């Protein structure tokens, strides 16, 4: 009896201990660790999940913004793995919190009427049209030199030097003798005066000789224009010969600005274009000028051609030899422009990030674009972007660095391009276009148009040739050529839509494989899949647009399908799911 009572007490004690344990689990303190089923304010979780790293040193990780302890660069926000749900290496998704921390802002692409603004450097030079050379018209000796140093300002008519010349004295004596008989021999008198004029004596000097009635062994040389003395070739006592240069005088009221324009700039520069010259002395104010001459030759050392401007210089602010910069405005045209902050500049092929909306953030597409010149604070985009697309204009480097850290394509890790010979590339582009004509005709339920497009496709295929692609892809193209030839030959043997669509499937697979290996040509291609074809086994086709237009069903199920893969121009996909092999098809 006593043992039973002891056993009952132990059971009661065990039940009490179990109850205390359950109570502690259910009513623990508020500061305990939250169980998995409890909810926390979304903003707290989002902030806690933001991790920061350095784009140059990814081993640096911390949970708050700051500077990299290694290089001092600003740390960038890194999103969770869940935000990067795309297998396409061109696409990178950022959550809203990382975008906020990275200060990412976007803007629509615009097309405006603008031309590139070229920024060139050069120097000021003397305008050769404003230069006068003073030469000796007769032999003699410099008796007196009045213009005795270079840089001196000379006024027109100012005396420069006195020359002793026996030859000039003899010419004066002949004039005096001819003047005595000028009534009897007027032609001789006029010839004597003309000789002195050709010796560069002024009419006033000739009249003075006649009035004086005596020849002089010396005569003065006068400036023929105002300007600065840039050359002095003689000193007092020097002998000069006929035709020898004595002085050079340059006017600076109009000067030349000679600029260096590289080969890619020359296509935008024409005589007559307006330009603005900036000098260090007045950086805020430009001096207006006009392109007067473009050198037809390129300097083989500098790979630049000389572009000459004529610039008014009434205050003589521009001095020969001064280094200057200039902006030349090229002719305007309607073209796409983007802010300079949107472009990660890597040369002619640069990078922008195009935004696509997502339910949990924004997906940015890595896009290589070709840039033209710069106009103000914008870059002209010659290819790669269309008006109306939305791109990142701030925080672009943060997006690029985050994409690179996640293994996506980035500025420093761009995709490798397939370089095709231009003749083959042109033929291949035409071949894809013929295929798209076939595809669109089938989507429109038009067998006659499909057959006509198929004949053009076969003709283009034979024009391209089986051995048109040399190098590492030669064997691949031979195989695809044969596959396309067999498919299109069978296609052309049919006369109704069901038969045409049967042969369209292997034809599509050959074109998809060609695009996957060689890249799209001329545009972006989309590999599209419909699961309802071939007794629900599904079939692929290649499209030049994202909109679904099903060539296997036409109007019956025109919108059946989804884009499974995007192939960009010249870039084979990193990893692509192979279409279902042709030998498995059952029709």
Contact (CB, 8 A) for 94 and 444:
no
pLDDT tens digit sequence for 577-587: 444 443 333 33
Average pLDDT, the chain: 82
Q: What percent of the chain has pLDDT over 70?
A: 84
| Own/partner pairs, 405-410, CB within 8 angstroms, 24+ separation | 405/53, 405/55, 405/58, 405/78, 406/84, 406/92, 407/89, 408/84, 408/89, 408/90, 408/91, 408/92, 408/366, 409/89, 409/90, 409/366, 410/351, 410/366
Strands (E), 295-360: 304-312, 323-329, 333-339, 349-358
Say yes or no to pLDDT of 297 above 70: yes
Sign of CA dihedral 128, 131, 136, 141: negative
pLDDT tens digits, one per residue of 186-210:
888 888 888 888 887 888 888 888 8
Residue 47: its pLDDT value, please? Answer: 42
Classify residue 579 by its DSSP letter.
P
Other Cβ atoms within 10 Å of 354 Cβ, number: 21
Structure token digits, residue 183:
């009534």
Q: pLDDT-based confidence at 137, cuts 50/70/90?
A: confident
> What is d(CA 558, CA 546) in angstroms, rounded to the nearest whole number?
13
* pLDDT (tens digit per residue) in 326-376: 888 877 778 888 998 999 877 657 899 999 876 556 888 888 888 877 777
Beta carbons within 8 Å of 215's beta carbon, 6+ residues apart: 169, 170, 172, 173, 176, 209
> Is residue 310 within 8 Å of 292, Cβ to Cβ?
yes
The string of pLDDT tens digits covering residues 235-280 is 999 999 988 899 999 999 899 999 999 888 888 888 988 888 988 7
Contact 232, 87 (CB under 8 A): no
Digit-coded pLDDT (tens) for 149-188 = 988 999 998 999 999 988 888 888 888 888 888 878 888 8
Q: How far is CA 112 from CA 206, 294, 335, 367, 374, in A?
A: 68, 28, 6, 21, 13
What does the DSSP 8-state code read for residue 568? Answer: B
Whether 134 and 160 have beta carbons less than 8 Å apart is answered as yes
Geometric angle at alpha carbon 256, from 255 and 260, rounded to 5°? 155
Q: What's the confidence (pLDDT) of residue 443?
A: 95
The helix (run of H) or strand (run of E) holding residue 440 is helix 422-443
Which of 320, 287, 300 has its CA nearest to residue 123? 320
User: Between 325 and 264, where is the model more confident?
Assistant: 325
DSSP label at residue 482: H
Domain at 422-584: CATH architecture: Up-down Bundle (1.20)
Counting Cα atoms < 13 Å in the Cβ hemisphere of 234 gives: 27
Residue 381's DSSP bridge partners are: 336, 371
Of residues 497 and 87, more confidence is placed in 497
Q: Is the pLDDT of residue 461 over 90?
A: yes
Q: Pick 53 or 43 by higher pLDDT.
A: 53
Taking residue 52's Cβ as centre, other Cβ atoms within 10 Å add up to 20
Q: Three-state SS for 78?
A: strand
Of the chain, the percentage scoring pLDDT greater than 90 comes to: 33
Confidence of residue 309 (pLDDT cuts 50, 70, 90): very high
For 535-552, write each residue's pLDDT tens digit: 888 999 999 998 999 999
Comparing CA positions, the residue from 360, 353, 352 lying closest to residue 379 is 352
**How high is the pLDDT of residue 415?**
80
Alpha carbon distance 526, 516 (integer Å):
11
Residue 44 has pLDDT above 50, yes or no: no
CB-facing half-sphere around the CA of 538: CA atoms within 13 A? 11
Residue 15: predicted pLDDT: 60
Q: CB neighbours (10 Å) of residue 554? A: 17
Cα–Cα dist 415/85, whole Å: 20
Level-2 CATH architecture, domain 128-250: Beta Barrel (2.40)
Element (H, E) at 131: strand 131-135
Question: Looking at residue 1, what is its pLDDT?
Answer: 47
Q: Tell me which H or E stretch contains 122.
A: strand 117-126
Using alpha carbons only, what angle is made at residue 457 by residues 455 and 463, rounded to the nearest 5 degrees?
A: 105
User: What residue segments make up the domains of the chain, in order of their start?
Assistant: 42-99, 128-250, 422-584
Q: CB of 540 within 8 A of CB of 531?
A: no
Q: What is the mean pLDDT of residues 13-27?
A: 57
What value, to the nearest 5°, has the Cα angle with vertex 584 and ends 583 and 587?
100
Residue 380: strand, helix, or coil: strand
């Amino acid at each position: 009896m006593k043992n039973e009572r002891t056993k009952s007490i132990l059971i009661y004690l065990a039940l009490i201990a179990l109850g205390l344990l359950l109570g502690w689990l259910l009513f623990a303190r508020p500061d305990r660790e939250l169980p998995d089923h409890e909810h926390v304010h979304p903003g707290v979780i989002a902030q806690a999940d933001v991790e920061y790293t350095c784009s140059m040193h990814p081993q640096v990780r911390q949970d708050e913004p700051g500077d990299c302890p290694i290089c001092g660069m600003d740390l960038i926000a890194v999103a969770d793995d869940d935000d990067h749900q795309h297998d396409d290496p061109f696409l990178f998704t950022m959550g809203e919190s990382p975008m906020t921390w990275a200060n990412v802002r976007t803007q629509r692409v615009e097309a405006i009427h603008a031309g590139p603004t070229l920024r060139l450097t050069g120097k000021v030079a003397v305008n050769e049209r404003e230069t006068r050379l003073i030469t000796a018209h007769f032999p003699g000796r410099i008796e007196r030199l009045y213009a005795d140093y270079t840089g001196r300002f000379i006024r027109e008519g100012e005396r420069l030097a006195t020359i002793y010349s026996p030859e000039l004295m003899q010419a004066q004596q002949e004039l005096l003798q001819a003047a005595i008989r000028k009534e009897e021999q007027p032609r001789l008198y006029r010839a004597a005066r003309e000789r002195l004029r050709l010796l560069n004596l002024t009419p006033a000097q000739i009249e003075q000789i006649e009035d004086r009635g005596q020849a002089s062994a010396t005569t003065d040389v006068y400036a023929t224009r105002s300007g600065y003395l840039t050359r002095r070739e003689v000193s007092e006592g020097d002998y000069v010969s006929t035709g020898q240069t004595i002085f050079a005088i340059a006017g600076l009221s109009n000067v030349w600005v000679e600029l260096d324009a590289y080969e890619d700039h020359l296509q935008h520069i024409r005589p007559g274009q307006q330009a603005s010259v900036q000098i260090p002395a007045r950086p805020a104010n430009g001096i207006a000028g006009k392109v007067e001459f473009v050198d037809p030759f390129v300097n083989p050392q500098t790979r630049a051609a000389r572009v000459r401007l004529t610039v008014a210089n009434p205050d003589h602010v521009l001095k020969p030899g001064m280094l200057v910069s200039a902006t030349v405005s090229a002719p305007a045209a309607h073209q796409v422009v983007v802010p300079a902050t949107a472009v990660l500049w890597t040369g002619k092929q640069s990078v922008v990030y195009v935004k696509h909306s997502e339910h949990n953030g924004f997906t940015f597409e890595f896009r290589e674009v070709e840039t033209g010149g710069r106009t103000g604070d914008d870059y002209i985009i010659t290819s790669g972007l269309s008006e109306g697309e939305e791109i990142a204009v701030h925080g672009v480097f943060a997006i690029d660095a985050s994409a690179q850290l996640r293994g996506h394509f980035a500025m420093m890790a761009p995709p490798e391009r397939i370089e095709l010979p231009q003749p083959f590339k042109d033929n291949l582009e035409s071949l894809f276009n013929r295929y798209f004509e076939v595809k669109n005709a089938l989507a429109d339920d038009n067998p006659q148009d499909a057959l006509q497009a198929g004949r053009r496709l076969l003709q283009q295929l034979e024009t391209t040739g089986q051995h048109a692609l040399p190098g590492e892809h030669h064997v691949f193209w031979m195989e695809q050529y044969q596959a396309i030839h067999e498919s299109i030959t069978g296609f052309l043997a049919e006369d109704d839509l069901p038969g045409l669509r049967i042969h369209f499937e292997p034809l599509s697979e050959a074109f998809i494989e060609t695009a996957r290996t060689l890249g799209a040509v001329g545009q972006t291609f989309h590999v599209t899949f419909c699961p309802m074809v071939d007794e629900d086994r599904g079939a692929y086709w290649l499209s030049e647009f994202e909109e679904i237009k099903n060539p296997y069903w036409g109007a019956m199920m025109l919108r059946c399908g989804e884009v499974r893969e995007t192939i960009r121009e010249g870039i084979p996909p990193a990893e692509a799911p192979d279409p279902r092999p042709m030998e498995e098809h059952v029709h």
